[in-house]
Structure 1
Amino acid sequence: MIGDFLYTVSKIIKSRIFIVSLIIIALFSTLLYRVFDLQIVNENYYMSTYIQQAERTVYNQGTRGKIYDVNGKVLAYDELAYTVRMEDKLDSSNEKNQLMNDIVYKAINVIEKYGDKVIVDFPIILDQDGKWKENFSSDAAKKLFLKNIFGEKMKYKDRDFSNASAGELISHLKNVFFEVKLDVDDEMLLKILSIRYNVFANSYQKYVGVTIAKDINEKTVAAIYENEADLTGVMVEEKTVRKYNDSEYFAPILGYTGTISDTQIEEYDKKGKTYTSSDIVGKAGIESSFEKYLQGKHGEEKIFVDNTGKKLSTISKKDSKAGKDVYLTIDSKLQKAVYTMLEKRIASILISEIQNYDIDEDQETDEKIHNISVKKVYAQLMTNNVVSIKHLAKKSTPNENRVYSKYKDSVKLAVAELKQQLNSKNGKVYNDLSKEYQKYYDYIYDLLKNDGILLTSVIDTKDETYNKYVDGKISMNEFIRYAIKQNWISLDNLDVKDSYLSTEETYDLITKYIISDLRKNTSFGKEVVYYRIFDGTISGSEVCMLLYDQGVLKKDEATYSRLSTYDTYYTYTFIINQIQKLNITPAQLALDPCSGSVVITDPSTGKVRALVTYPSYDNNMFSGSVDPDYWAKLVDDQSEPLYNRATQGASAPGSTFKMCTTMTAMEEGIISQGDTVVDEGEFKKITPSPKCWIFTSGGGATHGSINVMQALAQSCNYFFYEMGYRLGTNSKGNYDSALGLSKIEKYAKVLGLDMKSGVEITERDPHFSTESSVHSAIGQGSNAYTPVQLARYVSTIANGGKNYSLTLLDKVVSSKGKTVLKKKSKLTNTVDASGSTWDAIHTGMREVITEGTVYKYFKDTKINIAGKSGTAQENKKRNSHALFVAYAPYDNPKIATSVVIPFGNSSHDSAELAKNVIQYYYGEITDKDVKKNVKKDDSNNVTQD
């Protein structure tokens, strides 16, 4: 029996099942041991190791604080919306670029299918004519971008890209860096490169990602979920989007927000502030200046992620906190009214200058009003993109068909002539060409440069041949051939099959590229159209009809029918009428004048009640990201709506500077209230000899014997020339301009003209004149001040010498309603001047209104106003700038203002606008008056200082 048992056991042991069972038991035992070791024996060690490898902290941005006006009206706030985010979830491989490009391309198509737009946050843009342009916020931003792409030395294969053109950079990014092989147009290429670059710049923290679309609709949300399998790393989430009320009026003050840049991260890091690369921050204006208050506190979520960055679970979570609310000193009602009045005043001036006849601008002198031929208005409607040349190709109406046919024929003729010239052996020397063809060759040079064919980064700017071309002494043909021999040419963007080409073969390839561009590009077409409108090939009537054809104006059959008769006078009155109604604005036409600014302050506190710049823009289009089409439109707009003229538009102050000269002369003992100077019309003590304004415009008239108050009231240039001369006369009786300038500068400083105004947004530095104390005494020379600096200057005069820094900030309030900061007035200095000096200045400014240069324009107000007009010449071929500074009431000033209308010509326009602003402030005119139609300025337009 025992033998049977042993035999059975032996048989089992020898069986395959037993052996397999033993192996399984051994493996299972090992597994149990490892589990016991991991979870019991060494639990703490292995858990900490796991967390170190897979724990991540994700920061959630808090809601930004609101921005209010001084009366508590909301100007900026956050609103929840759906956004699309993209992360880099692909492993590194040789195919990664191709895979990423495919994903980005698909994502763009899905987003745009239902009418949403992709964010294009990129420092190179396409303008409206399809040309690459740089769009760096600063030199530092460009340098950092280039370092990200090319490394610290900004080189690739020993080629220096530090000065590369936009076209060169795009070519490298497309062909080398991101290897975009997709067959797409430039607009799609820009979107792909923008997303690729931003994902690349953020690749060191994959789980954060970048926002590629914002405020998307529900159809787009659904489409992204439906295509999730093909859109690796693309997801939908809810985030806040910044919104702005009445944006047109406040955009230059408020600025806008956007994704934080690398340079901003560096700046904030130096200040000890923590930001992530996906954070939305203030980019300009108040949004940027008060970022530390408006920015909420980050929420913090600790998570586990896998090796691709995918979230597995949450460890802990800390909620974000809202930012603080900022209250401005700005009165929004006043701001909006002043903006409207400014636009209407500019329109009024423009209307007075438009004439229904041809004008030879080369024959105009600086002593004449620079009138505008109505043909130039018609041309501007097309060249400044009010009506679209691209839209003509649709030929929706008979008029569009007709104009398009003329356009194509005109371009064809111009291209044929250029082709013949470029294909000739020598070509025409630039200086021997007509102005029209010089313009065309300028276009060709810019084309080659911007498209990365002419490598400006490698051109030797001291080269003799290069400088001959710059001076117009050789032909384009000769220059291009020379550039080829000097290796200043790149063929990367051309379809080159043979890598070894002769100079002539390369030249032929380039000329073919040029001709191809000229035939299809509307930017060249605009150059041609300009001349065809002036020679009558395309009529003004046809251009005006396009305003209806393209929906710029609401359809009016009767008017359209009248325009189709090609009555030139009717067409002229039509366009004037449209400007009067502001259906066509000065900003759209971008002719002189098309811009202006008004600043209003409280002289007793320095608080700014209105800071207006015209034209403006819609900062909602920049909220969190920049709409590429809108940005391209703004960049191309010749009226420069992105330029804040109130804080950055510096110009000579003209005769508004004469109060400073008066103070200098009286305090330095050069003259007293009772002293007089005889105006002789022409100031012959220096050569060339400047003349008084009344002498040139009044047929040799003079102001006669005049004292200091009368000199201010009548703005007598001769009187102040004499003051500048006397101030520069040394003890030996010799004139020394530097001596005079040093004395005037001393008082300019105490009046606040040596410093920025104090407003908390970007402002240009002031510049005191370094040229001729005689000319500088009347506010010419190289004096340059912004409207906001002139507002501080006149505020200091108004309150008798208390020089307050200006401010836009009233208070900061926490999300719980507690005031955490109340801005106090900052007194920089007090002007130490005698009572007689102040009396002379204030009396003279009052007499400007009651009996001086602008008295007839102030008869209809009961408010006691003191002021000073000014004109400043910048360019003899353009109108002078029109300025006016004022305060009211005269006996107890509560408001001070500066008005500047660049190229406005006559200072009476700026004076009337200043009067209207003060009238509105004190209720003498109402919103109903502000809304009245623009009236044509029928004055004689005599420029009075």
Structure 2
Amino acid sequence: MADFFQKIRDRLAGSRLEILLTLMMIFAAVLLARLFYLQIIRGAYYQNNYKLRVEKTQLKDASRGNIYDRNGNLLAYNKLAYAVTIEDTASYKNAAEKNRTLNEKLAEIIEKLKANGDHIKNNFSIFIDGSGEYQFSVEGSALQRFRADIYGRSNVNDLTYNKKLGYDESQATANQIMDYLIQKRFSIDLNRYDKETAYEIAILRFEMSLNSYQKYIATEIATNVSDKTAAYIKENAKSLPGVDIKETTVRNYADAEAFSSVIGYTGTISTEEFNRKSAEDKTVAITDQVGKAGLEQSMDEQLTGKKGTKTVYVDNVGTPLQVGASKDPVAGNDVYLSIDKDLQVKTYKLLEQEVAGVILTKMSNTKKTSTDPNAGNYADKILPVYDIYIQLVNNHMIDVDKLNAEGASDLERAVAAKFDDHLRQSLDRLKSQLQSDSGLAYRSLGDEGQDYATYIVKKLKADAVFNADKIDNKDQMQLRWANQDLSVNDYLKYALKKNWIDISKIPGLSKYLDTDQAYQGLIEYILGNLQADQDFAALSRRYTILNDEVSPNALCAILYDQGVLPRDDSTRNALASGSLSAYGFIQSKLRSLEIRPGQLGLNLSTASAVVTDPRTGEILACVSYPGYDSNQLANATDSSYYKKLTQSSSRPLFNYATQQKTAPGSTFKPVTTVAGISEGVITASTTIRDEGVFTKVSNHPKCWSYPAFTHGTLNAQEAIRHSCNYFFYEVGYRLACKSGGAYNDGAGINLIQKYAQMFALDQKTGVEIPEAESSIATQYPVMAAIGQSDNNMTTVALARYATAVTNNGTVYQMTLLDHVSDSNGNVIQKYSPTVKSQITEVSSDTWNFIHVGMREVVTDMSTMRNFSVPIAGKTGTAQSSTSTASHGLFIGFAPYDNPTVCLAVRIPYAYESFYAADVSRDIIGCYLGDAASNALVGTGAIQAGSSGHGD
């Protein structure tokens, strides 16, 4: 029986093997047949179509929404343009082949772009200056973020000492970064490419590397290129694999300078922005354009549309063969502002014309500021024309780096040599002085020596070598230094001895050195730093010019050599020969605004204005002067232009309308009037006699008119009219005495704060762009009552306050926006000012006599008395320091009987308030249709003289 079953099992096993073998033979035959079909019958077809259907999804950019003014005038829009893009889709044997191939490809494109008058897209934070040197275009935290990106660090705190490179990444210089990119990272052959080409290859390679982890995302290497470039790329597609032309848009701005502080600009997304946005939206790419400043930034989500998608099948070199499914992008929403374009532009131009006029009025053909010793008034200070000559160089109108560059004129080279000689001599004199056993006392050094000594001490403190917190201000040697009786070398030696200077903060030095060794190390540190210190070089250039080692005529002529002014050989040669005076030349160019205040960057070079409708609280204009050309920063930032903006002492990137804070001066007096009447310390009929000097407080403040005259006996309305400081000192004093009869500083300040807070003068206004928070005085009620003490307020906050004064107490939460609509014109969100509060504590009679006083302020001014539109307003002169001119302010409204427009204007360092009032008249006139005011716009500097009206 057992044998029987064994035979059955053997037969079944054999059968299964036969079946399995048969199946395997069938499968092999099918496979061979399929291989025969694919490789023999269809082999040529598939060879020619290698990787036929590699699928990739391309994103289709959405059109950014437009920005319009209140009347539908276009302010920011998109212009159709061609962009050159590149994708690295090729395969390489090794890194060397990849570098060589990509560098050659990019060099070819760069050469063709230049031949066609186009340029690469350059958002890089290093540029080549006029002398051919690498320079950073950013500083501070932005520079550290840039360094982190270069070395692949996710956080700036991860920057460390790099052993392979031999330096600290957090301190890497522009030269070290470019050397790292060009020679070590991308192997760009400097024997084959010139410096500029190697630089441009490096920054394009860097941009590509940022995008390398996003498969099939092209990198834009040039934008807004010409038709010639577009045709070249298309015609040479096969020899330039991965390079393509795409239709795109570039952001354009109308009246860019006038609107720059409000609208801002767009730019390539930063690393931080990308990380934040991509966490929520996977369609965000490292090449995206986003808002970088102003409303472009704050309204970015509304303006940015939704990207579309397109499925594409490509061959092995990335050439599209077939298009699959697609989804159209959705355009961004359009933003409409409350601002009136025409008024904004005219206000900007009028502010510039007024500032130029004040400069011309106050300018004198001298080297130093002087005052009338008999008057001692800030308004009597003059503006030395040498300050302007110095600013031609130190505010970068003249590019110092170009003075010795290839192609520089003989005059430029001669001036460069003078600057270099003076700097070298200054350093030699400093070395001798610092090494002397007994140097000259500070007071004996002269202006230049004193400035250098002061600079050294400030620099050591800024570098944390000199610890200012350790200084004993009661120490006899410190007192001698403060009294200018000590030499700088004796002061530094003493500071070392007292451990106010920490020598261990200096690289390579030890705190265990003896005093002589430590001082020698300190000298070497000081002199070594000064040799490369651009601020010290600027200080040295200042004295080169003041000493007439470089003539003003030469500097003015160089404006033509460097193309700052249009070519005019006759004028240029007259300057160079001395037959045309530099002073007359500067007067002429300022008058015509061929040289503009913002370019000079003097203290007196800025202004701001905010115009509102007092009936609704709507902002009609919000102007900061000087502005900048948003078109040069949008899309692909011009690094050298951005650097120039950041270096300018007029700070064009700073919004003076919403961010600058100064004391409001006498524009604050209506607040004090409201406080005094509401608290019962005065009435409308109360009179106070102006005695010139207010002796009830220790500092004995004076009325602005004293000692020339006093205002006599005035009531509150007359005090507003004449801006009598003495009257308001007394009101502030009475507020401080109200609680218990005796003067109480804190009680007085509390009451002033209470009423200033009613006007929201301690809060932001609500505008959708960066805004500083104003602050109300915290001490000295007598001084606070006239808008001094530590009152600090923005122009936009003063505009809201002026609006509330005009409309009898309605305080608005403000906005720059009117509405947002989709691309089809459907309104999706409305904006309007909202009532923040209503000041009900003030009677209509009080408002009325404040308005009457403000009307009389204006009728006392000859230039406004017979103006076509009846205006009411309040001037204000805010003192900044005894060594600089005061700020001029004005708040006002019109027409007086039925106000439809209100404004606040500030001109910093304008000497007196009249100039702010003067330009306010014409801003109001332009809005209300005054023919003379409108005809004045764009005609050149406005020299209005002086009203003789004080405040």
TM range (shorter): 0.7 to 0.9
Residue in structure 2 matched with residue 281 of structure 1 by the alignment: 290
> Aligned partners of 1:173, 1:24: CA distance in 2, in Å?
65
> Aligned partners of 1:280, 1:490: CA distance in 2, in Å?
45
> Aligned partners of 1:823, 1:316: CA distance in 2, in Å?
39
Residue in structure 1 matched with residue 876 of structure 2 by the alignment: 870
Residue in structure 1 matched with residue 216 of structure 2 by the alignment: 207
Contact 1:545 1:560 in 2 (8 A): yes
Residue in structure 1 matched with residue 553 of structure 2 by the alignment: 541
Residue in structure 2 matched with residue 496 of structure 1 by the alignment: none
Residue 889 of structure 2: which of 883, 888, 896 is its match?
Answer: 883
| Partner secondary structure for residue 658 of structure 2 | helix
Residue in structure 1 matched with residue 4 of structure 2 by the alignment: none
| Partner secondary structure for residue 336 of structure 1 | helix
CA deviations over 1:440-492 (Å, ceiling 9, x no partner)? 7999999x99xxxx996x97968989x99999955999999x9998485499x
CA deviations over 1:573-610 (Å, ceiling 9, x no partner)? 33212211112111222223111112111111121111
* 1:118 aligned onto 2:120: yes
> Aligned partners of 1:236, 1:846: CA distance in 2, in Å?
63
> Aligned partners of 1:27, 1:578: CA distance in 2, in Å?
92
TM-score for the superposition, normalised by structure 2:
0.80
> Aligned partners of 1:177, 1:544: CA distance in 2, in Å?
40
* 1:63 aligned onto 2:63: yes
The answer to which of 718-727 and 428-437 deviates more is 428-437
The correspondence of residues 710-721 of structure 1 with structure 2, limited to 5 A, is 710-721=718-729
Residue in structure 2 matched with residue 134 of structure 1 by the alignment: 138
Shift in CA distance, 770/439, structure 1 to aligned 2, threshold 3 Å:
same
Residue 420 of structure 2: which of 405, 411, 434 is its match?
Answer: 411
Amino acid at match of 1:149: R
* 1:733 aligned onto 2:733: no
The answer to which of 428-437 and 675-684 deviates more is 428-437
Shift in CA distance, 882/97, structure 1 to aligned 2, threshold 3 Å:
farther
Amino acid at match of 2:122: V
CA deviations over 1:842-887 (Å, ceiling 9, x no partner)? 2221221234xxx323123132211100011123221111000001
CA deviations over 1:889-932 (Å, ceiling 9, x no partner)? 12221000111101111111111111111122222235323244
Contact 2:83 2:220 in 1 (8 A): yes
> Aligned partners of 1:174, 1:464: CA distance in 2, in Å?
41
The answer to which of 61-70 and 897-906 deviates more is 61-70
CA deviations over 1:505-538 (Å, ceiling 9, x no partner)? 99999999879869xx9x8765544323222232
* 1:589 aligned onto 2:600: yes
The correspondence of residues 455-854 of structure 1 with structure 2, limited to 5 A, is 473=488, 486=504, 488-489=506-507, 527-555=539-567, 559-560=571-572, 562-563=574-575, 566=578, 570-695=581-706, 698-699=707-708, 701-729=709-737, 731-832=739-840, 833-851=842-860
CA deviations over 1:186-211 (Å, ceiling 9, x no partner)? 97787566545544443331322433
> Aligned partners of 1:378, 1:742: CA distance in 2, in Å?
48
Contact 1:864 1:888 in 2 (8 A): yes
Contact 2:242 2:318 in 1 (8 A): no
Residue in structure 2 matched with residue 83 of structure 1 by the alignment: 83
Amino acid at match of 1:939: S
> Aligned partners of 1:944, 1:392: CA distance in 2, in Å?
46
CA deviations over 1:118-144 (Å, ceiling 9, x no partner)? 333245667778543534687996798
> Aligned partners of 2:240, 2:313: CA distance in 1, in Å?
22
Contact 1:906 1:943 in 2 (8 A): no
Shift in CA distance, 310/269, structure 1 to aligned 2, threshold 3 Å:
same
CA RMSD of aligned residues (A): 4.8
Shift in CA distance, 123/97, structure 1 to aligned 2, threshold 3 Å:
farther
Shift in CA distance, 813/504, structure 1 to aligned 2, threshold 3 Å:
same
> Aligned partners of 1:224, 1:197: CA distance in 2, in Å?
22
Shift in CA distance, 123/737, structure 1 to aligned 2, threshold 3 Å:
farther
Residue in structure 2 matched with residue 909 of structure 1 by the alignment: 915
Residue in structure 1 matched with residue 3 of structure 2 by the alignment: none
> Aligned partners of 1:743, 1:218: CA distance in 2, in Å?
69
Residue in structure 1 matched with residue 928 of structure 2 by the alignment: 922
Contact 1:295 1:323 in 2 (8 A): yes
Contact 1:125 1:632 in 2 (8 A): no
> Aligned partners of 1:226, 1:440: CA distance in 2, in Å?
62
Shift in CA distance, 667/140, structure 1 to aligned 2, threshold 3 Å:
farther
5+ residue gaps, structure 1: 1-22, 38-49, 492-501
Shift in CA distance, 28/739, structure 1 to aligned 2, threshold 3 Å:
farther
> Aligned partners of 1:634, 1:108: CA distance in 2, in Å?
27
| Partner secondary structure for residue 844 of structure 1 | helix
Residue in structure 1 matched with residue 906 of structure 2 by the alignment: 900
* 1:857 aligned onto 2:833: no
Shift in CA distance, 436/824, structure 1 to aligned 2, threshold 3 Å:
same
Residue 156 of structure 1: which of 153, 157, 160 is its match?
Answer: 160
* 1:168 aligned onto 2:172: yes
Contact 1:127 1:133 in 2 (8 A): no
Shift in CA distance, 586/394, structure 1 to aligned 2, threshold 3 Å:
same
Contact 1:89 1:206 in 2 (8 A): no
Instruction: After TM superposition, give the deviation of residue 825 of structure 1 in Å.
Output: 3.4
> Aligned partners of 1:653, 1:295: CA distance in 2, in Å?
39
Contact 1:104 1:195 in 2 (8 A): no
Amino acid at match of 1:640: R
Amino acid at match of 1:785: M
> Aligned partners of 1:185, 1:726: CA distance in 2, in Å?
76
CA deviations over 1:239-266 (Å, ceiling 9, x no partner)? 1111112222222222111122233345
| Partner secondary structure for residue 330 of structure 1 | coil
> Aligned partners of 2:433, 2:240: CA distance in 1, in Å?
53
Shift in CA distance, 94/537, structure 1 to aligned 2, threshold 3 Å:
same
Shift in CA distance, 144/545, structure 1 to aligned 2, threshold 3 Å:
closer
Shift in CA distance, 306/751, structure 1 to aligned 2, threshold 3 Å:
farther
Instruction: After TM superposition, give the deviation of residue 169 of structure 1 in Å.
Output: 6.0
| Partner secondary structure for residue 80 of structure 2 | strand
Instruction: After TM superposition, give the deviation of residue 276 of structure 1 in Å.
Output: 2.8
> Aligned partners of 1:792, 1:134: CA distance in 2, in Å?
35
> Aligned partners of 2:646, 2:269: CA distance in 1, in Å?
21
Contact 2:204 2:221 in 1 (8 A): yes
CA deviations over 1:531-552 (Å, ceiling 9, x no partner)? 2322223222333333344444
Matched residues, number = 877
Identity of aligned residues (%): 32
Contact 1:430 1:476 in 2 (8 A): no
Amino acid at match of 1:546: I
* 1:355 aligned onto 2:357: no
| Partner secondary structure for residue 387 of structure 1 | coil
Shift in CA distance, 862/299, structure 1 to aligned 2, threshold 3 Å:
same
Shift in CA distance, 935/33, structure 1 to aligned 2, threshold 3 Å:
closer
Contact 2:719 2:727 in 1 (8 A): yes
Residue in structure 2 matched with residue 497 of structure 1 by the alignment: none
| Partner secondary structure for residue 205 of structure 1 | coil
The answer to which of 149-158 and 430-439 deviates more is 430-439
Shift in CA distance, 270/714, structure 1 to aligned 2, threshold 3 Å:
farther
Contact 1:147 1:153 in 2 (8 A): no
> Aligned partners of 2:431, 2:739: CA distance in 1, in Å?
66
> Aligned partners of 1:222, 1:376: CA distance in 2, in Å?
52
